[in-house]
A and B are shown apart, each in its own frame.
Chain A
Amino acid sequence: MAKAIHKLILLSGLLSLFHAAYSAAQHRSYLRITEQEFVSLPIDILTQGIVSLFITLYGVMNIAGDFKEIRATVDLENKSWETLRNIPSFYVFNHRGKALSPNYIPPSDEMD
């Protein structure tokens, strides 16, 4: 289950990513105003973008839950026929389990 710290990490990663994108846009508009040629983004914006990408990845992986095995055969190895043979749509209830409940009234046998 998602813990608060992982949600916090995810949120900060997303915010920092958004911040990096906004500062990149601001940088380009500044270059356009001062009529300089656009070569590449400043290094600090690049590193902020990449670092926040990894932070977001880490946050999402912890929130999304465990990975399942790709090979279909591996997670069947621990199952037994006992669980596979149970079909809830076809359950029959007239078994002896009734006698174990506290409400059970045994049928009175009247022998002549």
Chain B
Amino acid sequence: MSWSDARDLLRLWREDNERKSQDVVNLWETILSKNIFKLGDERLLVLEQVCLASLDTNRLDIADKCLQSLAAEFPSSLRVRKLQALKLETLEKYDEALELLDSIIKRDETNAAPRKRRVAILRAKGKHSEAIKELTDYLKKFMSDQEGWQELCDLYLLEQDYARAAFCMEELILHNPHNHLIHQRYADIRYTQGGFENIELARAHYSLAFKLNPSSIRALYGIFLCATNIAVSPKATSPKRKEATKLANWVIKELSKRQERQNVEDSQVAALEGLISSVQLAASA
């Protein structure tokens, strides 16, 4: 692989937030470390990416070298100091890392990155409730930070506080109304909460996710589960039940069409037939 292909691959991973740390480190060792100066403007971004990846895979030798080059370029940069705090985190020296981050925050109150690292340290230590408290304080100041809302949703899910997790997901939906994955995850949370209204809401969002991405099989299965749940629920009125059974039948037809298209093996076809028979049982109930 040539160095320009490696550089393009790294750029792709950087923009898509792919956490392929071992591959990044391998690419660095085999190709890029010799050609580092051919990268031009991207050199510093690549150094940062490789530093992060080497911390992820415990290659502290590479991390040290990257940090040295970065520190030589920008001796008093707060971003480089944040990376040094990351290195302390990897070594599990959390108190020193927290001190370093506090000094960065004092130097620049508007810098969001060290505050986020504080939350990550609390999460790494296992102190979820404190992490949640710190993150909610952060979000009161930096209200439009999507990453913060996503992380808060994750933390609430770890604590099984589904109502608040759903609230965080709603914030994310407001920021990205066209992103089918966020609708799907929101529907997942609502379905997990249970209860008739939540399942109707889940069905609405699964349908929206399917509308935004017609190739999303997860959304189809989600619609099926919600529809079957509504069809047997005691709170549903009769027209709603009929609509739900029709929807479930339609989903099954869609799923079998897609399976034919992909030539799926027999065990999965059998599973689909099981689904169909369960719908017929529910419809006759």
Q: Is B185 an interface residue (CB 8 A)?
A: yes
A84 and B57 in contact (CB under 8 A), knowing A89-B113, A89-B117? no
Which of B21, B60, B119, B179 contacts A90, CB < 8 Å?
B119
**Min C-beta distance of A33 to chain B, whole Å:** 52
Known contacts A1-B4, A76-B180, A103-B58; is-contact A92 B213 (Cβ 8 Å): no
Contacts known (A91-B120, A94-B92); A84 close to B56, Cβ less than 8 A:
no
Flag if B18 contacts A94 (CB, 8 Å). no
Q: Decide if the interface of chain A is mainly helix, strand, loop or mixed.
A: loop
- B-side contacts of A34, CB under 8 Å: none
- Whole-angstrom CA separation of A72 from B213 in the bound complex: 11
Please tell me if A79 contacts chain B, counting CB pairs below 8 Å.
Answer: yes
Q: Is B175 an interface residue (CB 8 A)?
A: no
Give A6-28 as 1s and 0s: 1 = Cβ < 8 Å from B's Cβ atoms. 00000000000000000000000
Residue of A nearest to B14 (CB): A88
**B201 at interface by CB-CB < 8 Å:** no
Closest to B146 in A: A87
Q: How close is B51's CB to chain A, nearest CB, in angstroms?
A: 12
Residues of B within 8 A of A (CB): 4, 16-19, 21-22, 52, 55-61, 86, 89-90, 92, 112-113, 116-117, 119-120, 123-124, 147, 150-151, 154, 178-182, 184-185, 212-213, 215-216
14 contacts between A and B (CB under 8 A): A73-B213, A76-B179, A76-B212, A77-B180, A77-B213, A77-B215, A83-B16, A83-B17, A83-B18, A87-B147, A87-B150, A89-B120, A94-B90, A100-B22
